[in-house]
Every structure is written in C-alpha cells, then in structure tokens.
Structure 1
Amino acid sequence: MSEQTQAVGKNETMSAEMIRKLRSAPILSSLKDDELRCLEGVEEVHLPKGATLVRQSEMVHNFWILVEGEVEIFWVYPDGRETSVACMSKGSAFGELPLLANIPSVVNARTGSDSTLLQLSEEGFWKLMTTCPGVRKAILSNMADRVQKMQSVTVQQEKMASLGTLAAGLMHELNNPGAAARRAASQLRQNLLRLHQISLKFKQCDLTSEQKKCMFDLQDHALADQRPHTMNSLEQSDAEERLAEWLESANVENAWKLAPTLVSVGMDEHELMCARDEFQGDMFSDALSWLDALVSSMQLVGTIEESIGRVTDLVHAVKSYAYEGKGKKQSLDVNESIRATLVILAHKMREKEIVVEKTFAQDLPALESEAFGLNQIWTNLLDNAIDAVSAKGKIRVRTWAETAQLNNGNSRKEICVMVADDGGGIPLDVQPQIFDPFYTTKPVGVGTGIGLGIVQRIVDQYGGSIHFSSVPGNTEFVVRIPAARQ
C-alpha cells in the first residue's frame, strides 16, 4: 500500500489549513482552535482506491478523520462473500470504538476512492483522550452514536442470519407434507378408479338384497367414528398374518396386501364371514377389494388433511416469528412464541434425534409490550442448546409466572422462561464474556454467532433480565420479563 504522510510535530504550530481540515469533521466542528490544537501529532495520509485500513478480527492501532474520498465498511463471510455495512463519507471520524473498548475490529475498512485522511496513532489517541476534555467529549459522543447504530444493524443482521439458517430447514419441513399430500392424492385417484371398476362389475351381476346388506354393514363398520383399540406392533402383525392366511384359504387375490388395511379398521375373519357366505368365487375378491379401496381412500384423505394442517402450522409459525412485535403495543402469548420457534427449529432437532421436554404453564399471563425481537431470544437460546448437546441429547423448556418484589416496595408479575440442555457446559474462562457485545466463538456470519449479546439487548428492551448457570451435563438460561411494563 503506497501512502504519503505529512505530520504535525509536537513542537510545530498547527497550521490554519490543518485546523480547517480537522473542523471539517462534524464531531469537531464546534470546537475552538485551542481545543483542536490538542490534535498535534496528527498525520495527513493519502491513500489510493482499494487500500485497506482495517481488517476484520484484527486490532486497530489508529484513529482517522476522512478529509477527502470515501471509506467502505464491510464484512467478509467464511466463504469469501462480502456484505456492505456502511460507507464513510467526507468528515467521518472512525476507529475510536475498538481503541476504547480494546477489542478487535468486527468489520473491514478500505478506501472506495483515492482518499485523504487525518491519522492519529494509538499512543496519540490515548494522550488526546486524557488531556483534551473538549475533544474527548466529542469523540465519546460520536462513539455512543456509532455503537447505537452498530447495535441496530447488528440486531437486523442477526435476525437475517437466523432466518437464513432456518430457511433450508423450513424448505425441508414444507417439502415433507407437500410430498406426502401429493403421493396420497395419486393413490386416492387410483382407488377411485378401482371403486368405479368394481361398481360396474357389481351392477352387471345384479346383487341380491343379502349381498347388498352385507356390503352396507361392512361399509358402516369401516366408516364408523369409533376406532378399534390400538394394538401394539406384535399384536397387529399377528392379526394381519392371521387374516391374510384366512383370505388366502378363500382364494382371495392380493390377500397379503388387503389384510393390513382391513385390520387397521378392526376387521377380522369373523367380521368378513358374511361376505364369504354371500359372494362366491371371484365376487368375494371383488367385494373385499372394493372394501379395501374404500377404507384406503378414507385413510388417504386423512393423510392429505394432516399434511395440509402441517403446512398451515408451519406458515403460522413463520408468520408469528417474522411479524411479532412490530413497534406497536400488543399482547403476546409467550408459550405460542416458543412453540413457533420450536416448529421452525424442528429439523435441526430431528437431525440429532434430540428429545425436547416442554412444560408450558397454562396460566401464563399475556405479555403487554411495545418492544420486539421476542422470537430471537428463543431462537438463539434453543439454537445454542442444539449445538451444545450430543446426538440423542435432551433439551428442556419450561415457562411459569412469578410475582417479583421491587425495591420501591411494589410488586409485579413476571413471565419466566427456562431453556436447559445436557451438553458439555460453558467453560469457566468463557462464562464472564458470553454476554459481551460482539463477543463470539463462531465466525462472523455463521449461524447465530453473536446471539447472546443480542439476547441480552432484547431482554433489556423488555425491561427483563437473563441469568445462567452451567456445569457439564446441565446448562440453564432463565429469562424473566415483566408481563406489563410501565
């Protein structure tokens, strides 16, 4: 990177031109000339387009004021993709946040065009902050504004990252019931054609009143609202084998295919005896095939209804997740909010065969609030729990209400939510930092890496609190939110 610098030394008098350039920064525009002279030691740096100032995850060693040109702020994902975060224009000051917080940069910065910057070293920056109260106040005010904007952007990026992570699972969730409904509809069409063909045969044979009565009785039995008692796998297998053998002895076609369907509605050889007595030869096979098609069709209709219901539940969960809390006061059902998040994360739990124990309080009060982002709390806590447990692990979710006593002597109703897992736990050396802004053990852009910092911020917006305890085999996060906040 080529650059040209012009420094203002400690013993040199700052020129009027340099003071003019410093005052071009909005954060310094109201300061007097004497206050601006605290910035002695600043360098004027000329950089070409594409020059790198800051790299993601590296420590920052300078503070800059952009005099001419522009500086692009962006993220780089692990796969090399870049996402623009902001574009610094003339007069922008930056670099103070990582210097003051002593944290690595969470973004990259490069010149978007040939640019001129005023650059102050880390040592000079700290001297400035300790000796120049006017400049210090201006820089801290600018930093506070930038932190607020960065957190807002981070919340949005976090939500988009969460939705992106869940998108593939949602497509899988929607595809399963869709495919099941399509298969069922195809089989239902075949059954209807089979019923039509058999009905034509019966019409040509001119059934007797006894035969019609037998068929109507079997139909009533098959379509009865009262279902037969549920058999275990062994009982059902024995019943199917016994009926198939009986059907084979009567020379019924496809006996082993018909038996499971007939057994599923509680039919055995005694129930079918009237059909065997009234229908001779191939007519007996046709009668049972007609009955099988009727029963199978009703079961397929149930499959289609269940599949469409599953899709409806998913759509409801996504709408609840995406649209809850849009900046206006509303009444939220916390139990329903958690259920929606569990539906969206179900694919990840199935992949690891995770057992989820849910204990939802039936008397949980509604949450009255203007804040938003409630679902992001559950998404991050549950997503972290899923990552923490091993295959066939266990996650526990519990809700309850408590009456909390306040310092002023009043009391308030609080909604409490616990998310616990039996994973390896959070290491002791990491525990003090897990809620720190921008602290993460995951690469930027992967999953919900900055989740716990976001969780605490959203909980604070609701006027609540979040605490955790963690030992190997049991990690518990407990969120407490006032049901109604003044």
Structure 2
Amino acid sequence: MSALSIEELRTLFLFERLDPEQLDWIAAHGRVETIPEGEAVFREGEPATCFYVLLSGTLKLTRAVRGDEVEINRSSRRGVYCGAIQFFVDGDDDQRYGASAYAVTEASFFLLPASDFAERFRDWFPMPTHLLEGMLSGTRNTQLVIGQRERLLALGVLSAGLTHELNNPAAAAVRATAALRERVAGMRHKLAKLAHEDIEPGLLEKLIDVQERLVKRVAEAPPMTALQAADREDELADWLDEHGVEDGWDLAPVLVPAGIAAADLDEVGGAVGEEFLSTALRWLGYALETETLMGEIEDATTRISNLLGAAKQYSQMDRAPYQWIDVHEGLDSTLVMLAGKIGPGVRVVKEYDRDLPTVPAYAGELNQVWTNLVDNAVAAMDGTGTLTVTTRAADDRLLVEVRDTGTGIPEENLERIFEPFFTTKPVGDGTGLGLDIAYRIVVDRHHGVLRVDSKPGDTRFQVLLPLTEP
C-alpha cells in the first residue's frame, strides 16, 4: 500500500487540470493497491466504498444476468476509472457497486474513499455536481418510464394479436354449435315421424346402416370447384324432383359437400322404398349436416388449442429459462402472436432449414428479440410487402434472418441503429429501446452477433447464435 505524488497524479487525465491544493488533498487521501491476476477488485452488490483509477495492467467489468456473469467492458488504458462512480450523488448513502471488476493481469489501482471524495468534490465543483446529479436522475427516470411503457405496448400488441386470432375460431365454434343444436332437433323430429309412420324395424336398420356408411364419407369427400358443386347440385335436385321429394333444391346443397351422388340416393331409395323416401332423405341430410358441423367445431377448437399452445411457447411459462431449443418453435410462436399486427397486406415467407441442431439459449429472451425484429420489419413496410424469416447454418453458428421489403435504413443511421434511445421512427412512435434490448440479449446474453444490412426494398437483420455453450 503506497501513495502517489502530485507529479504522478498529473499524469492521469482525471486529475491533470486540478490545482495544487486539490492535488494535495487527493494525494493525501488516496492510496495505491496491487491486485493479483484473476483476483476480484470489487464485487457487484457490495457497498461502494472506493473510487478506483487504473494505473497499470488490464481489468474487466462484469454484470450478473440471471445467474450468468456477462463481461461488459475490458480495458488496459491508464487512468480509466470504475467502482463508486456515482459517489457525487448527495443523500445516497447506501450506494453499491453496479458491476464486478477483475484483474485480467496483475493490476495497480489508485483508490479514493468514496464518502470523503464526494464531500470534497461537491465543495470543489458545485455546479457540475448538480448537473451530473440531474443527468443521472433524469436518465434513470427516463429508462424506468420508457421501459414500463415499452413493455405495456408490447403486451398490448401481443394481446390484440392473440385476441384477434382467437376470435375467428371461437366465433366459428359458436355458430356451428348453434346450427348443430337445430340439426339435432330436426333429426329427432324426422326420426319421430318415421316411427309414427310405422316403418318396419328391418327398413329402419337398413336406413341406419346406409346413413353410417354415408356419414363416414363426409371427412373423405374430395374438394370440388364451385362449378363442379353446382353441376352436382343440379343433378341431385333433378333426381329428387323425379322421385317426388319436395324442396329438393334445398336438400341438394346439403348432400353435395358430403360427396353424395345420384347412385347413393338410389341406394337409400332401395333401402326404404318410395313411401318413406322423403322423410328418410331429410333425416339423412340432418345427419350429414351434423357430421359436418362437428367437424367445423373440431377444427375451430383445434385452432384455439394451437393458438394457446403458441402463446405458451412464446411466454415459456412452464420451461426452464436456459435450455437447448429449436429456434423455429420460437419464431413460429412469435409470428402467431404478431399475426394481428402483421396484417393481410404483408406476405410472410418462411425459409427454414429444419435440419438445424438445437442451440443453448434463454428461449423467452430470444422470443423478445424475434418480436422486436418482426415488429420493426412490419412497421418499415407500412402494411404492404413481404416478410421473410430465414434460418440456416453459418459456419459454426446458427443464423436467423428477418428480412423486409420496406423503405430501408439510411446509411448514416446504420451505425447508430443499436444505440439506446436512437430511433428512426417519428416522434411518439418509437422509444429507441427495442433494438438496444435485442442487441444486449443476443450479444451480451448469448455471446452471439446481431448485425444489419439495408438498402431500399431489402433490409436484413441477422442473428448468429453459437451452437455450443459458451
């Protein structure tokens, strides 16, 4: 442990402009410490007691992020400082180190006690102290308010998209259920009428047997064009008129989608005879409609289940934060969640390499990256264009590319695009935090690369993720 002379202090850019009295105070109150290679200088969360100035060697700063220690800076420049860097804030007596510092090589530091230095600093520089306090407080409040607003807006967009996507199948299921109730009531009525007409049990068994065979064909009925369907309806309507079935034009459209042809109607007629033909066909029509409606309900509820599954996948609410993942699952769930915002004017193209291996990642955080990139791409296209999401191998990494056909990013903005609070959107439309958050998740959290290439009509954001655990 030793001290620095006034002449040595003047060689440090922080102190070179101080007057002799100020330098005397700093020399008297400071001390020099040497930290061995690999040792901690101070640790994140500990009371911030000292202001450190690097004299020699190399240091690195790290932050703890959900259990991982992420390097945020490294320097060997003489005079760089760290530790209690907010010592000047008045009234904040419980300051703690915001990061951990380590000596990458053996390193020497000049230390000043934070509390003593703060009191003297405020006496020496009252106006700069007030300016620094105001700037720090303003930055904190801005980040807090904008961060909360950004999260609320993102949640609103996702909720609106999911609600929009759920509304269609839910409404279809409600409509089909109401129609199904009517058809079931009609079946009961026609069955009662057949019973009232004293149909022989043997004929009823034949009719039920024919019904079962025809109903099974509903799911297997081949699709028809509008012209083919119209021709088949005319054919069945003529058959029904020839056999005295009233309102055949109304019954034919029910029979055609099930793949029923005139030969099938001959089979029904042969089973029950002309006397019960009209009632039997109406009963059969209700049965076919019931099967079709149940199929619609099944499709609608399956769609709802898939959407909820996508929401669950997106939120990762029942998954471990860090896991080996298939990036396509997160990309697909993100596109589903943002479907309402993407809109009908944007064509979505997926160029996936499904043979890609899984990657170690924080899935929920990567979904936030995909959300920000897709959201920016859609905004750039202003509702019309093509959104292309590509995955492929890139040497020893996995590449995810989000490409849009929007207006592009001006060249002078490309170098600043990942800066916090920088946005190319009109005032009030963007906070400038989306790409900054995405960058920190990809680069700091996953040790990957996030880059952009842009020209009018072709903007590409590329994320490269390592295939092995760092």
Whether TM exceeds 0.5 here: the answer is yes
Q: Which of the numbers 227, 249, 252 marks the counterpart of 1:259? A: 252
Which SS does the other structure have where 1:271 is aligned? helix
**CA drift at 1:267:** 0.8
- Between stretches 155-164 and 331-340, larger displacement belongs to 155-164
Instruction: Check conservation: 2:398, 2:466, Cα contact below 8 A.
Output: yes
Q: 5 Å matches for 1:310-389?
A: 310-323=303-316, 328-349=321-342, 351-369=343-361, 372-389=364-381
**CA drift at 1:377:** 0.9
**CA drift at 1:263:** 1.1
Instruction: Check conservation: 2:146, 2:431, Cα contact below 8 A.
Output: no
Partner of 2:467: 483
* Pair 1:298-2:382 in alignment: no
**CA drift at 1:357:** 1.3
Partner of 1:286: 279
In structure 1, what residue type is equivalent to 2:344?
K
Partner of 2:436: 453
Partner of 1:64: 130
**CA drift at 1:239:** 1.9
Distance 2:468 2:148 in 1: 25
Distance 1:447 1:196 in 2: 60
Partner of 2:400: 417
Partner of 1:470: 454
* Pair 1:30-2:98 in alignment: no
Q: 1:455/1:223 Cα in 2 relative to 1: closer, same or farther (>3 Å)?
A: same
Q: 1:97/1:307 Cα in 2 relative to 1: closer, same or farther (>3 Å)?
A: same
Which SS does the other structure have where 2:415 is aligned? helix
**CA drift at 1:339:** 0.9
Partner of 2:237: 244
In structure 1, what residue type is equivalent to 2:413?
V
Distance 2:205 2:90 in 1: 100
Partner of 2:25: none
Instruction: Check conservation: 2:423, 2:431, Cα contact below 8 A.
Output: no
**CA drift at 1:220:** 0.4
> Identity over the aligned pairs, expressed in percent?
34
In structure 2, what residue type is equivalent to 1:259?
A
In structure 2, what residue type is equivalent to 1:329?
Y
Instruction: Check conservation: 1:327, 1:372, Cα contact below 8 A.
Output: no
Unaligned residue ranges in structure 2 (runs of 5+): 1-17, 23-87, 96-111
Instruction: Check conservation: 1:325, 1:373, Cα contact below 8 A.
Output: no
Q: 5 Å matches for 1:15-414?
A: 24=91, 26=93, 30=114, 32=116, 36=120, 40=124, 42-43=126-127, 64=130, 93-96=133-136, 150=143, 158-208=150-200, 209=202, 212-214=205-207, 216-224=209-217, 227-276=220-269, 283-323=276-316, 328-349=321-342, 351-369=343-361, 372-404=364-396, 414=397
Instruction: Check conservation: 1:155, 1:454, Cα contact below 8 A.
Output: no
| CA deviation profile, 1:140-194 (whole Å, cap 9, x unmatched) | xxxxxxxxxx5x9866654443122221222222222222112111111111111
**CA drift at 1:320:** 1.8
| CA deviation profile, 1:307-347 (whole Å, cap 9, x unmatched) | 21122112222222223697743222211111111111112
Distance 2:364 2:219 in 1: 46
| CA deviation profile, 1:95-120 (whole Å, cap 9, x unmatched) | 1598xxxxxx6956xxxxxxxxxxxx
TM-score (norm 2): 0.68
Unaligned residue ranges in structure 1 (runs of 5+): 1-9, 15-20, 44-61, 66-91, 99-104, 109-149, 405-413
- Between stretches 331-340 and 319-328, larger displacement belongs to 319-328
In structure 1, what residue type is equivalent to 2:332?
R
Q: Which runs of 4+ in 1 moved over 6 A?
A: 152-156
Q: 1:37/1:202 Cα in 2 relative to 1: closer, same or farther (>3 Å)?
A: closer
| CA deviation profile, 1:363-402 (whole Å, cap 9, x unmatched) | 2222223575111111111112222225552211121233
Q: 1:448/1:321 Cα in 2 relative to 1: closer, same or farther (>3 Å)?
A: farther
Q: 1:458/1:241 Cα in 2 relative to 1: closer, same or farther (>3 Å)?
A: farther
Distance 2:161 2:439 in 1: 26
Distance 2:327 2:364 in 1: 12
Distance 2:392 2:462 in 1: 11
Instruction: Check conservation: 1:420, 1:476, Cα contact below 8 A.
Output: yes
Instruction: Check conservation: 2:449, 2:463, Cα contact below 8 A.
Output: yes
Distance 2:318 2:427 in 1: 26
Q: 1:271/1:237 Cα in 2 relative to 1: closer, same or farther (>3 Å)?
A: same
Distance 1:357 1:213 in 2: 52
TM-score (norm 1): 0.66
Which SS does the other structure have where 1:270 is aligned? helix
| CA deviation profile, 1:398-454 (whole Å, cap 9, x unmatched) | 2123332xxxxxxxxx22111112222222232222111121234787577531111
- Between stretches 22-31 and 313-322, larger displacement belongs to 22-31
Distance 2:140 2:417 in 1: 16
In structure 2, what residue type is equivalent to 1:179?
A
Aligned residues: 369
